[in-house]
Structures are given as structure tokens and as C-alpha cells.
Amino acid sequence: MLERQGYAVTRSRSPGRFDDEALLVLTPTAWTDADALAEIVEQRRYVGPTLVILPKWFTMRLPATAKGAKKGWVRLIAASAPGFAKDLEGALAMTPGIARLAGAAPDWEGLGLAGSLPDRTQVLGLENGPWASLVRDSTGRDLVAYADDHGCYPVLDAAAGFDPPDQDNCEPSKWNVTVAFEPDLFNNYGMADRQRAMLAAKVVDLAREGQDLPVVFDLTLAGLSGQRNLLTLAFAPPFLAATLCLLLALLVVAWRAFGRFGPPMAEARAIAFGKAHLAANSAGVLRRSGRVHLLGAPYAAMVARRLAATLGLRSADRQAIDAALARRAPDAPAFSPLAARLEAARGPSETLRAAHALHALERTVRS
């Protein structure tokens, strides 16, 4: 109906719409938590107006075999005031109750309209609470009212017949909270009547306080929230662009994998096979440990034994090796000074040069 009248109307399945600057219409169920409802209303006090339509009817779905039943039709079982109402406090404190109307007077009256209710025996109205009345029943109970919480609501005050308070005595930045205690003025059961439909539209317009605000009907409190999973979120803006880029990158990687040039390169072993590689690995360990100078004496002793075997000596005595070298290779340097130089070396470079000198002497003797 509001859409036909030109209002911008949306239905929200996300709690994120609670922060919109719009008229938020809340339709809690009989099992709604009072703290959750109060938190929603409180966080909107400086964001936008809120219209709360209380629940009343307990229903059951009509079976498909019921005569004349259509999809979604229900049967009314009983009516009761919502249990969460007694737990609301502060500006939302209320004591609604069910009553039976009697007499021939109009069942409800307010905002320049009057009319009947679909069921006069089960009327939910406000018994007590800090509320400013907009619509009353024939017994004087409030059916629609807004919170009297020291806010500046000149449009609502004029509709209720009150003199607007001074700006110094109210909060101009606070938005109103309007409550429809009698849901039969707004539900399908009640809006079958033209007068009640006109009243519902007028209440919506007044709740917007004369501002051109959109109307958001919340569905989360009725259990119809839509939880978006990661898969659907990935294909929705603004994440769609990133998802497409990722898919394109995967396509390029797959194409390069299938169109690879040449065989795959095998990963090299951490420790290669062979004596030379084993010696190189051992040397690398010694070089990293900083203990190269400790190799001098053992290497000199090893060269002495090999020279003694080459020269035909019984023992690796250094003086005997020097004498044998003087006879066999007069131009070669003596072994003892070279061995002493290697044993006295400390740095890696000095040790390496002394070892090369001994190795050269050994090659000279063998040649």
C-alpha cells in the first residue's frame, strides 16, 4: 500500500539496516527478547525514527485440505499481550493488556479518523506507561502512541493535540519511537477496512516527522533474516571484481602449467653422492665452525706417512724424511719447515697456503 502511495519501501533481512536513516518498522514476535528489542530501538534514537508493531495473535497454519484455504492462510487461536513487554524499561516501559469493548461507540478514534476493529473482544491496548497518545479505543486506552521521552517531536505533538515544548526543554536530535499496541490496525486482518488502512498510512507518515525518509520493514525479528555465506558474498559487489581477477589468475597459471616447455627440473639433493662431495661437505662444516686451524697437525702427519712410504722409510721421522728428500730431490724444499709452518698457521688463508706447499712437495716426490 505504501509503495502504491509513492513511498520508498524496502524489506530488510539484515541487521545492518538498523543504522539506516529511515523509518524502521519492527514487527517482533511473542518470543522476541526484550533486551534485543530495546537495544535496537536505543541505537536508533539519533539515527532515525522507529515504529514498533506489537504482536497479539497466536495462529496455526490452515491445512491444504481446508475448504477455501489459500497458501499462507492461518487460523486465529487466541490473543495475548506479548510477554517481553513487562521487561522493557525506561522510555519503553509499558503495560499492555487484552480487553473487551462494549457499547455502540467507535472502537477506535484518533488523527481525525474513527472506526471499528475486526474483533472487539480481543483488543490490545496500553494500560500504563510514559506514552503520548495518538489513537485510543472506546475505553480510553492507547492503541497507538509515541514515547514521551523529552524529545522534540513537533509534528507528533500537533497530531496528539499537545503544545510543542520549547527547544531548550527537549532534545532536537532525538528521533521518535512510535508503538502500535493494537496490531489489528496494521495487519492484513485489520487493513481489510478502508478506515483502518488510512489510519495505518497516516501513522507511518507522522512517524517520519514530516521528513522525506524511506521506509524499511525489518524481517529479522520475525525470523526471516538472510545470512550470506562466503560463496555468495564472493560473487556480489564489491567483492565480485576481486573474485574475477583471482579466477583469471588461476586460468593463466593452469595454461602455463599445461603449456610448459621442457621436462620439470628435479630438485637437487641436499648432500650429493661421491667421495669428492663428501669431502666438500665435511670441509664446509669445518669452515663454518671456524676450526680450520686444527687440521694443520693431522694433515702434516698424514703427508709425513705418505712421504715415508714413497721414499721407502720405516718410520715417518721428519729428519729421516728431510735426509731422503735431499738425496732424491736436491732442489725440493725440506719437509720439516713446511710441516712446522702448517702446524703454526691460524687463519684459513695461512693454513691453506701451508697445506698447498706440503701437497706440492708430495707431488714433486711422486713425480
Task: Kindly give the residue spans of alpha helices, DSSP state H, lying in 152-239.
Answer: 154-160, 194-207, 230-234
Beta bridge pairs of residue 95: 128
DSSP 8-state code for residue 174: P
346: DSSP letter: -
Beta bridge partner(s), residue 142: 126, 136
What band does 17 get if pLDDT is binned at 50, 70 and 90? confident
> How far is C-alpha 153 from the chain's CA centre?
38
In the prediction, which pLDDT does 350 show?
A: 84
Please compute the mean of the pLDDT values over residues 248-262 and round it to a whole number.
80
Question: Residue 98 — pLDDT band, cuts 50, 70, 90?
Answer: very high
Asked if residue 265 has pLDDT above 80, the reply is no
Question: What pLDDT score does 152 carry?
Answer: 92
Q: Give the pLDDT of residue 229.
A: 63
367 has a pLDDT exceeding 80: no
Cβ within 8 Å of residue 54, ≥6 positions away: 28, 81, 82, 85, 96, 124, 179, 180, 181, 182, 183
Average pLDDT over residues 177-204: 94
Give CA–CA dist 285/84, Å, rounded. 77
pLDDT score at 339:
86
DSSP 122: S
CA angle 281-282-285, nearest 5°?
90
- Banded pLDDT at 263 (limits 50, 70, 90): low
Above pLDDT 70, what percent of the chain? 93
pTM: 0.62
pLDDT at 260: 64
Tell me the three state secondary structure of residue 55: coil
Distance CA 237, CA 242 (A): 9
In this prediction, residue 296 has a pLDDT band, given cuts at 50, 70 and 90, of confident
Closest CA to 126 of 62, 52, 67, 60: 52
Mean pLDDT of 318-330: 86
CA distance 220 to 35: 15
User: Which residue type is seen at 362?
Assistant: E
Provide the phi-psi class of 212: left if phi over 0, else alpha when psi is between -120 and 50, else beta: beta
* Whole-number pLDDT of residue 226: 55
Is the separation of the CB atoms in 47 and 175 below 8 Å?
A: yes
pLDDT tens digit string along 237-253?
777 888 899 999 999 88
| Residue position matching grid coordinates 555465506 | 229
Output the pLDDT for position 280: 75
pLDDT tens column, 124-135: 999 887 899 999
In which element (H, E) is residue 108 found? strand 108-110
More confident residue, 228 or 290: 290
> What pLDDT does residue 286 have?
67
In the predicted structure, residue 75 carries a pLDDT above the cut 80? yes
Mean pLDDT lowest among 65-69, 104-108, 196-200, 212-216 = 65-69
pLDDT of residue 36: 93
- How high is the pLDDT of residue 294? 76
In the prediction, which pLDDT does 121 show?
Answer: 93
Cβ-count burial of 20 within 10 angstroms (0-12 exposed, 13-18 middle, 19+ buried)? middle
Q: Could you give the percent of the chain with pLDDT greater than 90? A: 45
What whole-number distance in Å separates Cα of residue 88 and Cα of residue 128?
13
Region of 34 please: left (phi>0), alpha (psi -120 to 50) or beta: alpha
Q: How confident is the model at residue 271 (pLDDT cuts 50, 70, 90)?
A: low
